Amino acid sequence: MNLLVLMIALPLLTAFLLSSINRISTLAARWIGPLVLLATAVIGLSVWPQLGAAPLALQWGGFQAPLGITLYADQFALLFALAMTIGTLLLWPRSAENQLRSSSLALLLAGTGSGLALSGDLFNIYVFYELMTVVSYGLIAGRGTSGSFASTLRYLVISGFGAALALAGIALVYQATGTLNLAQLAQLAPEKLNNLQGFAAFVLMLIGFGVKAELFPVNMWVPEVYATASSRVSALLAGVVSKLALLIIMRLLILVFHQPEALTVLLVLGILGVASGELAAWRARDLNRMLAFSSIGQLGVMFIALSIPGNAGIFAALAVMVHHLFLKPSMFLLAERWGGSIEKLAGAARTSPIAAALFVLLALSLIGVPPLPGFWAKLLVIMPMLALDQPLYYLAVFVMLAAASLEANYLFRVVMKLYDKQPAATSHKVHATADLATALFLGGGLIAAVFMLVPLADRLDSIAAQATDVSTYIQTVAPQQLQSGRVQ
């Protein structure tokens, strides 16, 4: 059962050993990374069916619950851990010059990501979160251009600020309950954290962890970073890493914080995120920045989905997250060669027809055209919101629908440019085969989702159900009754 720990340990180990392996043979250094990721993915997949029945808790270092660090793995967490490893494998950085550095950073990212997904302790989450942030600084700045340094700096300022806030939030939680183990917190939260202090802790942690999840006030870094970083890195950041940050917030919402005001804060920030993201994307003139703004909008939709109380909210958020997981990386991969100004894309469909067709498919699924999964995800979000029959939720539905029509407008402006009859002056660079292959693989995933819609929906429903019942969480982590954490 401790194979699961290998998912975290193995990538970290190889990351640090990489430079020494490189001294032995550069070929081994080049291929060891993907191999290790493949191994971790296989481990994860082997454990997956067994988790379907009952989630699994591991005590690190043998210390029993509230003191030691527990590792909690249910299908919900493992799904995102696997997404992290497979995502890094698919989006392996191909930058020519310092291949060694970027592959070790990628391995670190995979390791810390799966660690973050699986950890069951609040401070442990904070540590892994910080590790992941530092690694992403390395990846972004790795490009070497002065623009990447400046954007990394802006990113660092905001996420440093966010980290401090998260720490303050954790301090408040610890002061109130005396423990940081999520299971015990789940037990103590109803009476200890249900007051103002609990709500303040939640807001602080929301903003802290929201930096990576592109939450509205703290996503100012997104346009610059995605415009300067290489599109594989931005694909990783926008596609996978932002989902992990969202995973933490979902864990907190389900297990610890149950106040209704928490949901309204999420809803308001979600609406602002969608509105600002889509409107800014409407005027963007280069593809990278347009995709950055549209990812802000999409994550805004996820926050709105999260703000729906109960299982329906989690199920809707999960559906939108998985759909976005497939969609955004493949769009960023297409932006690898088409990154420049949209005007210059005129007639690009003639040089690379497959890529253009794929872009149309992705655009259709993003705006939610029926048979494609985007539509079902959007439907899942809107239906419970209308059932709640509150004015704020009606506003959210209106904003989402208006944003969808804006999306249709600017995405199809790009499509029109692609299929324009008279080509632009400069010749268009053809996509690297690896990029195109990965993008097609992810696009294929979308089309497969169209056909096996019903089983996929049931699978996601069961994952969401398993994630939301708090009692099994507490039972698996610490079967015997936990005494209060404080040592008097």
Partner 1 sequence: MDILDINIILYSAAFGLMLIGIGGIVISNHLIRIIFGIALLEAGANLLLLLSTYHEGASAPIIVDGSVPAMMADPVPQALVLTAIVIGVGILALALSLAIRVQRAYGTLDMREVRLKLEQEISENAGIEMPSSSHAPAVTTANSAAAQQESGS
Partner 2 sequence: MTALDTLLLISAITVGVALLAGNWRVGGWLVTILYALQGAALLMMSGLGYSTLTVVQSSFSIEVLSEQLLWRFDALSWFFALITIGAGLFSSWFASGEWGERYRDNGGSLRLFHGALALNVFTMLVLLASGDLLTLFIGWELVSWASFLIMALAGGKAFGYAMRYISYAFAGAMALLGGLLLIYAEVGSFDFQSLKEAAPQMQASTLWLLVVLLTSGFGVKMAILPFHLWQAKAYAQTPGPGAAFLGAISSRMGLFAFIVVVVQLIGISRLVEMEIPFTFLDAQDLLAWIAVFTIIIPTYIALRQHDARRLLAWHGVGQTGYMLLGIVIANDLGSAGGLMHVFNYASYQAMLFMVVVAVIHRTGTSDLNKLGGLFTRMPLSYLAMLIGIIGLAGLPPMNGFVSKWLIYRSLIVDGSPLLFLGAVIGTLGTILSVYKLIHNIFLGQLRVEHVAVREAPLSMVIPMMALAVIVFVTGYFPGLVLDWTSAVQASIGIPVLAHHLGGVSMKGGLDMIWIVSVLLIGFGFGTLVFFLGGRSRRVHQLDNYAGGHFLTAETRYHYSDNFYPGLMHLIGPWYRNSFEWLERGVISAVDTLSTAMQGLYRNAHPSYLLLAAVVFALSWVIV
The binding site for partner 1 (CB under 8 A) comprises 67, 123, 127, 130, 133-134, 137, 141, 145-147, 149-154, 156-157, 160-161, 163-165, 167-168, 170-172, 174-175, 178, 180, 224, 227-228, 285-286, 288-289, 339-341, 343-344, 486-487
99 binds partner 2 per the rule CB under 8 A? no
341 is an interface residue for partner 2 by CB under 8 A: no
Position among 199, 357, 459, 470 found at the interface with partner 2 (CB under 8 A):
199
**CB count in 10 Å sphere of residue 445:** 16
d(CA 24, CA 314): 48
> How far is it, in rounded angstroms, from Cα 384 to Cα 401?
15
Of the pair 238, 304, the CB lying nearest partner 1 is at 238
Q: Which region among 24-32, 43-51, 97-105, 202-210 touches partner 2 (by CB under 8 A)?
A: 202-210
Give residues 421-450 in contact with partner 2 (rule: CB under 8 A).
421
268 binds partner 2 (CB under 8 A): no
Rounded to whole angstroms, the Cα distance separating 10 from 369 reads 41
Report H helices in 146-259. 146-177, 182-192, 196-210, 222-228, 231-235, 242-251
> Of partner 1, partner 2, none, which one does residue 170 interact with (CB within 5 to 8 Å by kind)?
partner 1
Nearest CB to partner 1, comparing residues 87 and 111: 111
Binding mask of the shown chain, residues 447 to 466, with x at each position contacting partner 2 by CB under 8 A: ------xx--x---------
Tell me which of 310, 389, 483, 488 binds partner 2, using CB under 8 A. 389
Whole-number minimum distance, CB 471 to partner 1, in Å?
26
Q: Please give the structure tokens belonging to residue 211.
A: 């930096």
Cα distance from N-terminal residue to C-terminal residue, the chain: 35
Q: Token pair 């992290």 is at which residue?
A: 84
Contacted entry of partner 2, partner 1, none for residue 408, CB cut-off 5 to 8 Å set by kind = partner 2
Rg over alpha carbons for the chain, rounded to the nearest Å, is 22
Nearest alpha carbon to residue 329 among 150, 131, 158, 88: 88
What DSSP character marks residue 423?
P
Cβ atoms 269, 217 nearer than 8 A: yes
Residue closer to partner 1 by CB (options 90, 170) is 170
Residue 156's binding partner among partner 1, partner 2, none (Cβ under 5 to 8 angstroms by kind) is partner 1
- The strand pair at 56-59 and 70-73 is best described as antiparallel
Token digits for 456? 């996929």
What is the spatial distance between Cα 3 and Cα 35, in angstroms, rounded to a whole number? Answer: 17
In the structure encoding, which two tokens stand for residue 115, read together? Answer: 């660690």
The residues of the shown chain that bind partner 2, judged by CB under 8 A, are 158, 161, 165, 172, 196-197, 199-200, 203-204, 207, 217-218, 220-223, 275-276, 279-284, 293, 364, 367, 369-371, 375-376, 379-380, 382-383, 386-387, 389, 397-398, 401-402, 404-406, 408-409, 412-413, 416, 419-421, 453-454, 457
